[in-house]
């Protein structure tokens, strides 16, 4: 496997190339669909993985997203941005699945997600970077859906504000505002952990 | 910067550093997926599905929704009225900020986050420059006869690979205008690492000497050092 996998889609094909592939997929061209998946599967995986932090769930989401894309490809308007459309499909599936996942996890453990401690805080000396990461991951779980999506798109998918705005069909100002609120909320949730850092 | 602002600044930086660490997990997970096989499998599954399935779903959806609103306008009107009334009551009677989290002092600007992100980007870039410089020094100081072997030992291969991956993660931050100068040098380093990662262990002494000379002629090590100092000096 390639050791230099980046958190970016493959290549970055031009809109014309993507439109050409979409047309061929509509006519049932398997190779075109494989190429289209190849262009975007990593981007979808990153978003899904950042939601579930589990490879199997993320791969499932990738499959479901592209099956949905194939089903809906006739309704895709070529005047629209394919990236944004795809990410919107992915985001919707992630949120739907995440709600089920969260409910299942709470039912199995008998503990609400909000009640799970952010980290085992045995001593300040034991505090490590991975603790910060784990605490952050659990805190991100507690964010409202839109804040969570924007935070993950921004920091894990490395999408810019404009790209996120297109994908979520909201204004750039709203993206910035929700991003800011996400950071503020995270700061509240992670307060004790942030305090004990050196 | 006042103590409160300093604390807020450090908290925001910590959160962004934690987010950067999340990316490492994603990258590791991505390395274990067989992407070519996955794309083929998805395409085969999609093409094997009955072609009329979506159409049937659409028909069923309209079949259930239309009678409700199309054949019973009185029911639809009553339902709409209830929803509008409930929304009006909500906006009229809600208490501002009731039960919400306590406000956090003067922490009130999106620009603040942008600056914190820039600060984290600078630290990431400094780390990248330090590691790159150390690796390039190992290569430049080596005897041309042994340079290829040094580059191809397990540790160097891993370091080169990690730096190439790190650079890709940094690209989005380097797009910031404040990082334009850093971007230029980091791109140059990246191109060099790509070239170094492709040369074979039995690279000729002449070829190794050519690359060593290129690094010296471009003053790459000096420029890395200067840029590092500049970034470190401009940190908040």
Gyration radius from chain A CA atoms? 19
Residue A12's pLDDT is 60
Residues of A in contact with B19 (CB under 8 A): 136, 151, 155-156
Give residue A41's pLDDT: 94
Going from the C-alpha of B124 to that of each of A50, B117, B191, the distances in angstroms are 21, 10, 19
CA–CA distance, B126 with B185 (Å, rounded to integer): 12
Write down the pLDDT at residue A39: 93
Q: Give the pair of three-digit tokens for residue B2.
A: 């006042």
Q: Can you give the pLDDT at residue B14?
A: 78
B56: three-class secondary structure by DSSP? helix
To the nearest whole percent, how much of chain A has pLDDT over 90? Answer: 34
CB A94 within 8 A of CB A47: yes
Asked if B110's CB is within 8 angstroms of A177's CB, the reply is yes
- Higher per-residue pLDDT: A144 or B116: A144
Query: How far is the C-alpha of A161 from the C-alpha of B144, rounded, in Å?
Result: 47
Domains plus CATH for chain A?
7-114 (1.10.1740.10), 122-198 (1.10.10.10)
Of the candidates A41, A136, A194, the beta carbon closest to that of B35 is on: A41
Instruction: State ipTM.
Output: 0.73
The mean pLDDT of B179-191, rounded to a whole number, is: 88
Q: How far is CA A83 from its chain centroid?
A: 14
Q: Which of A72, A129, A184 has the CB atom closest to B104's CB atom?
A: A184
Residue-wise over A60-83: b if at least 16 C-beta within 10 A, else e? ebbbbbbebbbeebeebeeeeebb
Q: What is the per-residue pLDDT for B22? A: 81
Q: Please name the residue of chain A whose CA is at the shortest distance from the CA of residue B40.
A: A34
Are residues B30 and A42, on separate chains, in Cβ contact within 8 Å? yes
Looking at residue B51, its pLDDT comes to 57
From residue A94, alpha-carbon distances to A87, B1, B5, B165 in Å are 10, 40, 36, 26
In the predicted structure, residue A42 carries a pLDDT above the cut 50: yes
Residue A104 has pLDDT above 80, yes or no: no
Whole-angstrom CA distances from B155 to A52, B135, B141 are 33, 10, 17
Indicate whether A152 pLDDT > 60.
Answer: yes
Q: Tell me how far CA of residue A21 lies from CA of A25, A69, A70, A84, A86, in angstroms.
A: 6, 13, 12, 16, 14
Residue A164 has pLDDT above 70, yes or no: yes
Asked if the model's pLDDT at residue A196 lies above 60, the reply is no
- Mean local confidence (pLDDT), A93-121: 63
Name which residue leads in pLDDT, A104 or B54: A104
Say how many residues make up chain A.
Answer: 198
C-alpha distance from A52 to closest chain B C-alpha (Å) = 11
- Interatomic CA distance for residues B168 and B170, integer angstroms: 5
| Residue B55, both tokens | 């159409």
Q: Which of A169-178, B89-98, B134-143 has the lowest mean pLDDT?
A: B89-98
Of B12, B166, B192, B110, the closest CA to residue A178 belongs to B110
CB pairs under 8 A between A and B: 155
CA distance to A34, A178, B47, B62, per residue, from B43 (Å) = 6, 36, 6, 29
Q: Do A62 and B41 touch (CB under 8 A)?
A: no
Phi-psi region of B50 (alpha: psi -120 to 50; beta: other; left: phi over 0): beta
What is the distance between the alpha carbons of residues A136 and A143, in angstroms, rounded to a whole number? 11
For B17-49, what is each residue's pLDDT tens digit?
Answer: 788 778 888 888 898 999 999 999 999 999 887
Whether the predicted pLDDT of B62 surpasses 60: no
SS3 labels along B198-233: HCCCCCCHHHHHHHHHHHHHCCHHHHHHHHHHHHHH
- Partners of B123 on chain A (C-beta within 8 Å) are none
Predicted pLDDT at A79: 84
Task: Give the model's pLDDT for residue A119.
Answer: 43
- Rounded distance, CA A181 to CA B215, Å? 46
Q: Which among B211, B171, B169 is positioned nearest to B187, based on CA atoms?
A: B171
Question: Which chain B residues are Cβ-neighbours of A70 within 8 angstroms?
Answer: 46-47, 49
Angle between helices A145-155 and A129-141 (to 10 degrees): 140
pLDDT at B37: 93
- For B172, the closest chain A residue by CA position comes to A158
List the domain boundaries for chain B. Answer: 3-92, 111-233
Q: Is the pLDDT of residue B100 over 50?
A: no
What pLDDT does B56 receive?
A: 38
Query: Is residue A3 pLDDT above 60, yes or no?
Result: no
Query: Is residue A15 predicted with pLDDT exceeding 70?
Result: yes
Contact (CB, 8 A) for A39 and A69: no
Q: Which residues of A touch B44 (CB under 8 A)?
A: 30
Instruction: Calculate Rg over the CA atoms of chain B.
Output: 29
B110: tokens are 């999106």
Q: How high is the pLDDT of residue A65? A: 95
Average pLDDT, chain B: 77
User: Greater confidence, B19 or B97?
Assistant: B19
Identify all chain B residues contacting A180, using CB atoms and an 8 Å cutoff: 109-110, 113
At B136-147, the pLDDT tens digits run: 888 888 888 887
Q: How far is CA B157 from CA B31, B160, B221, in A?
A: 16, 5, 20
Instruction: In chain B, count H helices and then E strands.
Output: 10, 0
CB contact under 8 A, B10 and A197: yes
E strand residue ranges, chain A: none
Provide the chain A residues 68-107 that lie in CB contact (below 8 A) with chain B: 70-72
Q: Please indicate, yes or no, whether the overall pTM of this predicted structure exceeds 0.80.
A: no
Instruction: Give the residue from chain A lying closest to B158, CA to CA.
Output: A3
Please indicate whether, in this complex, the C-beta atoms of A55 and B40 are within 8 angstroms of each other.
no
Q: Evaluate if residue A112 carries a pLDDT over 70.
A: no
């Amino acid at each position: 496997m390639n050791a230099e996998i980046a958190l970016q889609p493959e290549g970055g094909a031009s809109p014309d190339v993507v439109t050409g592939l979409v047309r061929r997929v509509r006519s049932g061209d398997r190779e075109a669909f494989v190429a289209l998946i190849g262009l975007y599967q990593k981007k979808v995986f990153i978003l899904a993985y950042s939601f579930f932090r589990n490879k199997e769930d993320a791969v499932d989401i990738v499959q479901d997203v592209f099956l949905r894309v194939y089903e809906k490809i006739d309704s895709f308007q070529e005047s629209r941005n394919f990236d944004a459309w795809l990410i919107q499909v992915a985001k919707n599936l992630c949120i739907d699945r995440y709600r089920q996942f969260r409910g299942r996890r709470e039912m199995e453990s008998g503990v609400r997600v909000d009640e799970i401690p952010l980290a085992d805080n045995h001593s300040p000396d034991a505090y490590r970077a991975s603790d910060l990461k784990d605490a952050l991951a659990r805190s991100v779980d507690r964010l409202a859906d839109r804040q969570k999506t924007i935070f993950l798109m921004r920091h894990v998918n490395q999408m810019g504000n404009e790209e996120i705005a297109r994908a979520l069909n909201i204004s750039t100002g709203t993206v910035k505002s929700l991003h800011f609120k996400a950071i503020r909320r995270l700061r509240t949730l992670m307060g004790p952990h942030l305090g004990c850092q050196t | 910067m006042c103590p409160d602002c300093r604390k807020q600044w450090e908290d925001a930086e910590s959160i962004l550093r934690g987010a950067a660490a999340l990316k490492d997990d994603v990258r590791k997970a991505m390395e274990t997926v067989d992407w070519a096989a996955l794309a083929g499998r998805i395409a085969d599954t999609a093409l094997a599905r009955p072609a009329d399935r979506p159409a049937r779903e659409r028909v069923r959806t309209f079949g259930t929704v239309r009678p409700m609103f199309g054949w019973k306008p009185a029911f639809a009107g009553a339902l709409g009225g209830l929803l509008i009334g409930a929304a009006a009551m909500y906006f009229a009677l809600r208490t501002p900020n009731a039960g919400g989290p306590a406000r956090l002092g003067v922490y009130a600007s999106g620009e603040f986050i942008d600056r914190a992100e820039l600060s984290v980007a600078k630290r990431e870039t400094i780390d990248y420059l330090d590691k790159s410089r150390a690796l390039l020094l190992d290569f430049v100081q080596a005897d041309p006869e042994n340079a290829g072997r040094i580059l191809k030992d397990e540790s160097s291969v891993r370091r080169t690979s990690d730096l190439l991956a790190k650079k890709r993660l940094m690209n989005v931050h380097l797009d910031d205008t404040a990082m334009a100068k850093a971007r230029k040098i980091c791109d140059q380093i990246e191109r060099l690492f790509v070239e170094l990662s492709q040369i074979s262990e039995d690279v000729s002494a002449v070829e190794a000497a050519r690359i060593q000379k290129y690094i010296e002629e471009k003053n790459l090590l000096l420029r890395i050092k200067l840029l590092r100092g500049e970034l470190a000096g401009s940190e908040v």
